Amino acid sequence: MGVGNISDFNLAMLTKWWWRFKENPDQMWAKVVAAIHQNRNTAQLVPFKTSVPGVWKDIGSMDSKLSKLGIDLTQCLTQNNGSWSWRNDEEQLFSVKQVRKDLEIARLAGIPDDPCFSWNTWATPKANFLLWRVLIDRIASRENLIKRGVQLDDEFCPRCGLSLESRDHIFLSCIWARCIWWNVLAWVRIKYPVEVYSFREFLDYVNQCPGSKVWKHIIQLIILATVWRIWNARNEKVFEGRFIPINTSVDLIKEDSFVWLSNRANARRPLWDSWKMFDVVNLL
C-alpha cells in the first residue's frame, strides 16, 4: 500500500546513531557517551551499559532488537576505507530508507505470497483495495460490526434475510451474489464451481483456470469489477433501501470492466459489441 511501518522507521532512526558514533568518534557528544558507557566488553560495536539509564540505553539496545528480526547490526554496519557505511547501501554511507527497506524484507521473509490477490493496474485503486480488504475480512459486514461491539437490530443479510451477513455470505453464499457470479462466469465461459463454500476457495478456483497471462489478467479485472458491484449493491440496499436487480449488476460489471480495460490498460482497446460477447481474441 506504500504506507511505511512506523516501528521500522523508529528502529532505523535509532540505528543511525550507531553509525554517527562510529563515523564521528571525535565529536564532543561521542566522547561523552564513550566516557559514560565505557566497559570491558570490547566485542561491542558501540559502548553500552544496561545499568546506565537514558536515551543511549534505547540506542544501544538496537543490536538485540534487530537480531530478533534476523539482522546482525555488527555485520551490516561495516568500515571501508576509513568510513562506516550500511553494508548494501550503494548510494551513500548511511540512509534511513535503506535500513527500513531491509527491515521490511526481514519482516516479510517468512510470509508466503497470497495467491488469491495480486494488484491489477488495469482496475481502479479503490477496486483493488476493496478486494484486498475482503480477502483479509476487514469489511463492515454485520458479523464484523457485531464483533467490534456495534449494536445492531438485525444481523441477517438485508437482501435475502436467510443467514448471518458475513464476508463469505455477501460475496458468495447469498442467492443474489451467486446469481451474479453465475452470470459473470457464464459470460467469460468458466464453469461455476458447485462445491465451493468460501470466497477464498472461489477465487482459488477461478485463478487456477487455464489460460494465457493476458487472459488471466482480464479475468482478474472482471473479478474486481464483480466484487465492486456486489458491494455497491449491498450498500444501496442497506443505506438507501434500493434493490439493484441481478441483470443490472451484471450489465454494470461488463461496463466497468470495459471502461477500465479501455482507459487503463496498455492493450488494444476492445470493441463494445465484442466485449459483450467476451470475444477477447484480439487482446491476447
Please check whether residue 120 lies inside any domain of the structure.
Answer: no
Per the structure, the complete domain to which residue 46 belongs is given by 6-108
Assess whether 138 and 43 both reside in one domain.
Answer: no
The per-residue pLDDT for 4 is 72
Whether residues 214 and 267 fall in one domain: yes
Query: Hey, what's the cell of 145?
Result: 460490526
Q: Residue 68: what pLDDT?
A: 84
| pLDDT at residue 40 in the model | 63
- How many independent structural domains does the chain possess? 2
Domain closes at, from 81, 108, 135: 108
Torsion, Cα of 179, 185, 191, 194 (10° steps): -30
Among the listed residues 22, 8, 12, the one whose alpha carbon sits nearest the alpha carbon of residue 77? 22
Residues in contact with 254: Cβ distance below 8 Å, sequence separation at least 6, in sequence order: 187, 275, 276
Return mean pLDDT, the chain: 88
101 and 136 assigned to the same domain:
no
Stretch (H or E) spanning 259: helix 246-264
**Element at 234 (helix H, strand E):** helix 213-235
Note the pLDDT of residue 105: 83
Could you give the CA distance from residue 264 to residue 71 in angstroms, rounded to a whole number?
40
Low-confidence ranges of the chain (pLDDT < 70): 1-3, 39-43, 88-92, 110-115
| Length, in residues, of the chain | 284
- Whether 46 and 153 map to the same domain: the answer is no
Q: Is 41 exposed, middle or buried (0-12, 13-18, 19+ CB in 10 A)?
A: exposed
Q: Last residue of a domain, which of 78, 108, 138? A: 108
Q: How far apart are the C-alpha atoms of 163 and 223, rounded to whole Å? A: 24
Q: 38, 73, 108 — which closes off a domain? A: 108
